[in-house]
């Protein structure tokens, strides 16, 4: 068994770098066209080239999404875009549409091709079909159990890889094939512009009483009955690896750099712990505690063990749990003065207790006793967005280390 790949999302260049530094083996990104995250910043070709070089210098890979369901007009730019992706060194493209695949085979025939979860691959015959079309990796639908995945692995060619989501938001529809957003807000989920209408609060109308709205309530907050819990498989990482999945995928190209760093670092440690001693592997509760320090909804194991029932929906709220604030990222460190140069991401106050996290799980806590502005003047607060400051730290830090603090109740 070759070691599994940890695959992380990256919505922009900063998040790509964080994912790589914090332990991802590969990242998946979207360009400014053909990717299913229209609201993300996404990558210009120039940033994509920079990110690919950053990854390759560290022995990591970058996959580019081409997974919209295209209409005729969408295809006009595709040939030029494909040749550019090959020129800048993309390691693979991720697609779901047969027409897009035909273009890839015509214009960049040597490119590795992954089949997106948008293609809804749920059985071994479908996987074998796509493999015969030149697909090297199938991203499995979220609606599969570990038992089904094992059977798919057993009944497909050994050189066909499988990828599956292990963490992040779940969709109420079949692997993203949702029309609710189109209907409610005229935003096409299959072209990357989902309004997340499933997260809204709804009322009930009886057909013979039009205009009379009845609240559907679990409590005074209402009921978000389409609102799925987040997927989290950190407690079962050994079972996921042993199912035959090669690439373990984290959802979240819209998530923050802090989220990416936090989630990747935890799964990195869990995977490495498994391979160090498979026979005696045990889940470490501190991994889940650490994951909960990033924004999240309540967690679920999705479809991996059984089909989700009524307990897999989050009825009380569509908002995230956010117990920690991301307040800064380290740019540099002076070992003589013990001063870390920090780019501020949220207001930082002298005298407050903070945590400093790096690529490995295990953090240091300290009080900010010395904080300087860019003129080396002592300050009490850093209130400006992305303000460059210096903070005296108790332990050595490196570039890309993250500062965070427990969120205070307002």
Q: What is the pLDDT of residue 87?
A: 98
CB within 8 A of 337, min separation 6: which ones?
Answer: 392
Question: CATH assignment of 5-173+227-312, given 3.30.420.40, 3.30.420.80, 3.40.50.720, 3.20.20.70?
Answer: 3.20.20.70
Q: What is the pLDDT of residue 32?
A: 80
List per-residue pLDDT tens for the chain, 410 residues long: 689 999 999 999 999 999 999 999 999 999 987 765 555 567 999 999 999 999 999 999 999 999 888 889 889 999 999 999 999 999 999 999 999 999 999 999 999 999 999 899 999 999 999 999 999 999 999 889 999 999 999 999 999 999 999 999 877 666 656 666 676 777 766 555 677 766 667 777 777 888 877 666 655 555 555 667 889 999 999 999 999 999 999 998 888 999 999 999 999 999 999 999 999 999 999 999 999 999 887 888 888 998 765 555 554 555 567 889 999 999 999 999 999 999 999 999 999 999 999 997 678 999 999 999 999 999 999 999 999 999 999 999 999 999 999 987 65
| SS3 assignment, position 99 | helix
Nearest Cα to Cα of residue 87 among 46, 124, 125, 35: 46
H/E element, 95: strand 92-95
CA distance 139 to 175: 10
pTM of the full structure = 0.87
Q: What is the pLDDT of residue 228?
A: 74
324-406 belongs to CATH 2.40.420.20: no
Nearest Cα to Cα of residue 388 among 373, 405, 370: 373
Q: What is the pLDDT of residue 307?
A: 75
Domain ranges of the chain: 5-173+227-312, 324-406
Nearest Cα to Cα of residue 230 among 251, 249, 247, 248: 251
């Amino acid at each position: 068994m070759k070691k599994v790949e940890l695959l992380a999302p990256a919505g922009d260049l900063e998040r790509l770098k964080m994912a790589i530094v914090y332990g991802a083996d590969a990242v998946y990104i979207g360009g400014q066209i053909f990717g299913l995250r229209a609201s993300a910043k996404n990558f210009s070709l120039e940033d994509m080239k920079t990110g690919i070089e950053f990854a390759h210098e560290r022995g990591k890979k970058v996959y580019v999404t081409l997974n919209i369901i295209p209409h005729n007009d969408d295809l006009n730019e595709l040939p030029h875009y494909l040749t550019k992706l090959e020129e800048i060194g993309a390691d693979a493209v991720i697609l779901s549409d047969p027409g897009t695949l035909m273009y890839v085979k015509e214009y960049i025939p040597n490119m590795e091709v992954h089949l997106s979860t948008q293609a809804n691959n749920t059985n071994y015959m479908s996987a074998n079909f796509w493999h015969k079309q030149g697909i090297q990796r199938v991203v499995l639908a979220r609606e599969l159990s570990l038992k089904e995945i094992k059977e798919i692995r057993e009944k497909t060619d050994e050189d066909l890889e499988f990828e599956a989501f292990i963490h992040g938001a779940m969709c109420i529809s079949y692997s993203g094939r949702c029309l609710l957003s189109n209907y409610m807000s005229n935003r096409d989920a299959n072209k990357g512009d989902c309004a997340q209408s499933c997260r809204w609060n709804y009322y009930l109308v009886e057909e013979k009483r039009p205009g009379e709205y009845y609240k559907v309530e679990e409590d005074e907050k209402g009921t978000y009955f389409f609102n799925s819990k987040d997927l989290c498989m950190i407690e079962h990482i050994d079972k996921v690896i042993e199912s035959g999945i090669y690439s373990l995928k984290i959802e979240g190209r819209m998530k923050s750099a802090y989220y990416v760093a936090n989630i990747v670092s935890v799964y990195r440690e869990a995977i490495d712990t498994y391979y160090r001693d498979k026979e005696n592997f045990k889940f470490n509760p501190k991994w889940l505690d650490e994951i909960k320090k990033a924004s999240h909804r309540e967690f679920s194991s999705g479809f991996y063990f059984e089909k989700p029932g009524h307990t897999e929906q989050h009825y009380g709220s569509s908002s995230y749990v956010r117990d920690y604030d991301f307040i800064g990222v380290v740019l540099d460190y002076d070992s003589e003065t013990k001063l870390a140069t920090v780019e501020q991401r949220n207001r930082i106050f002298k005298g407050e207790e903070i945590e400093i996290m790096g690529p490995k799980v295990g953090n240091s806590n300290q009080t900010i006793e010395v904080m300087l502005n860019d003129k080396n003047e002592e300050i009490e607060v850093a209130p400006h967005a992305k303000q460059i400051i210096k903070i005296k730290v108790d332990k050595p830090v490196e570039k890309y280390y993250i500062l965070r603090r427990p969120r205070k109740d307002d």
